[in-house]
Amino acid sequence: MRTTVGIIGAGPAGLLLARLLRNEGIDSVVLESRDRGYVERRQRAGILEQGTVDVLRAAGAGERMDREGLRHDGIELRFARRRHRIDFPALTGGSSVMVYAQTEVCKDLIALQLREGGPLLFEAEALAVEGVTTERPRVRFRHKGQEDVLECDYVVGCDGFWGVSRKAVPAELSRVFERTYPFGWLGILADVAPSHDELVYARHERGFALLSMRTPVTSRLYLQVPEGTDAGEWSDDEIWDELERRLETADDWTLARGPVTAKSVTPMRSHVHEPMRHGRLFLAGDAAHIVPPTGAKGLNLAVGDVTTFARALTHRRDTGSSDRLDAYSETCLRRVWQAERFSYEMTTLLHRFPDASPFDERIQLARLERLALSRAAETDLADGYTGFPLE
């Protein structure tokens, strides 16, 4: 099998890249180790930055998002039983975010790819990426019990932290930057309308809490829990009780409860792999970087990566210059590190650290007070949350 761009992974990054390339008349093949049902069911991010929304619309993948997604013009911060809203459009010149689950993005892009795009092979496990320093890199993969080889001009690894792509970069050329946090997020999906029309980020003496949503009738909520917590250790009633404590306010706001349909714990860590390019292999998304979910940046960073690659390859075709491809890693990493910074600042702003001193806690509250009193501080948060420029 032969193509211009071999894409490993049919998450939102790989699927969007295939769509962007198809729109430019560049052929590709997508290899996905899981079956279609798994890809369309796996729960991940649900907040799309303004730039991600714009890219999906321009790619012809925004029709259902615009119909069913929930535009949000701000978030609410809660601390000391007080409420403070951050108004995104007023602070950023009109930017907002969209609540639209990654599962739905994948469904939309899969449907488009199968109808209009190049080959998308499910249950096609990539075994190795070879020859990336030559002009003919290749991906060895297994599909329907048979091994095969995909020959390419370029390989883009969108196969996550545990995939084969990152392993194809020699260890002696790699630099890894990582931070783990001593807590995780216990998350639930519940069949109940959200108790607030925007996301609520709460700092409480018992720990962080987040009120989010997936649809107008489905709530997504999170609690900070110690690292290594088993979701089964918490009953549904215990989770709702704790959410009520941490989200409490001095006014008459109340938390609506409903049947819990899913429960899981998400670990918290930051990870960056440099470089994001080796020869004709380009890393994108979780294959190159991971952020704690506090800043809602994971999916959006992946979109930035593949958009940068698609534009660089189109530039190479149109001009004959490879300067943008050569600058891929540097270009993406500027945005990645800003997103890592923002996610770190949101995490340390809102979570209780087990070794925090009374001084640390007062500084945390002072930072929140600053956001409530300073338009400049609000603007910095709004700029970061709605998204950094794609290039």
Q: Dump pLDDT digits (tens) for 115-125.
A: 999 999 999 99
Annotation marks residue 38 as catalytic: no
Q: What is the pLDDT of residue 42?
A: 80
CB 298 within 8 A of CB 286: yes
Q: What is the pLDDT of residue 56?
A: 98
Q: Average the pLDDT over 184-202 and give the result.
A: 97
Q: Which residues contact 377 (CB under 8 A, 6 or more apart)?
A: 370, 371
Cα torsion for 103, 107, 113, 119, to the nearest 10°?
Answer: 70
Tokens at 32, concatenated: 């996905």
Beta bridge partners of 126: 141
Global pTM?
A: 0.95
Least confident of 31-45, 166-180, 233-247, 279-293: 31-45
Could you give the residue ranges of the DSSP H alpha helices within 205-274?
Answer: 236-246
Q: What is the mean pLDDT of the chain?
A: 96
Q: What is the pLDDT of residue 346?
A: 97
pLDDT for residue 316 is more than 90: yes
Annotation marks residue 263 as catalytic: no
pLDDT for residue 104 is more than 80: yes
Annotation marks residue 275 as catalytic: no
CA distances from 95 to 52, 71, 232 (A): 12, 10, 39
Annotation marks residue 196 as catalytic: no
Q: Is 263 exposed, middle or buried (0-12, 13-18, 19+ CB in 10 A)?
A: middle
Tokens at 142, concatenated: 């297994």
Q: Average the pLDDT over 350-370 and give the result.
A: 96
Residue from 12, 194, 292, 293 carrying the catalytic annotation:
293
Backbone angles phi, psi at 149, to 5 degrees: -130, 130
Residue from 100, 181, 201, 222 carrying the catalytic annotation:
201
User: What is the pLDDT confidence band of residue 284, given thresholds at 50, 70 and 90?
Assistant: very high
Annotation marks residue 107 as catalytic: no
Buried b (16+ CB within 10 A) or exposed e, 321-350: eeebbeebbebbbebbebbbebbbbbbbbb
Q: Is 84 exposed, middle or buried (0-12, 13-18, 19+ CB in 10 A)?
A: middle
| pLDDT tens-digit readout, 127-183 | 999 999 999 999 999 998 999 999 999 999 999 999 999 999 999 999 999 999 999
pLDDT for residue 86 is more than 90: yes
Please name which of 195, 193, 232 lies closest in space to residue 216, comparing C-alpha atoms.
193
Residue from 12, 72, 137, 181 carrying the catalytic annotation:
72
pLDDT for residue 44 is more than 80: no
Query: What one-character DSSP code corresponds to residue 100?
Result: -
Q: How far apart are CA 376 and CA 378, in angstroms?
A: 5
pLDDT for residue 231 is more than 80: yes
pLDDT for residue 43 is more than 80: no
Q: Average the pLDDT over 81-110 and give the result.
A: 96
Q: What structural domains does the chain harbor?
A: 5-72+99-177+269-346 (3.50.50.60), 182-268+353-386 (3.30.9.10)
User: What is the pLDDT confidence band of residue 41, given thresholds at 50, 70 and 90?
Assistant: confident
Q: What is the pLDDT of residue 45?
A: 73
User: What is the pLDDT confidence band of residue 46, given thresholds at 50, 70 and 90?
Assistant: confident
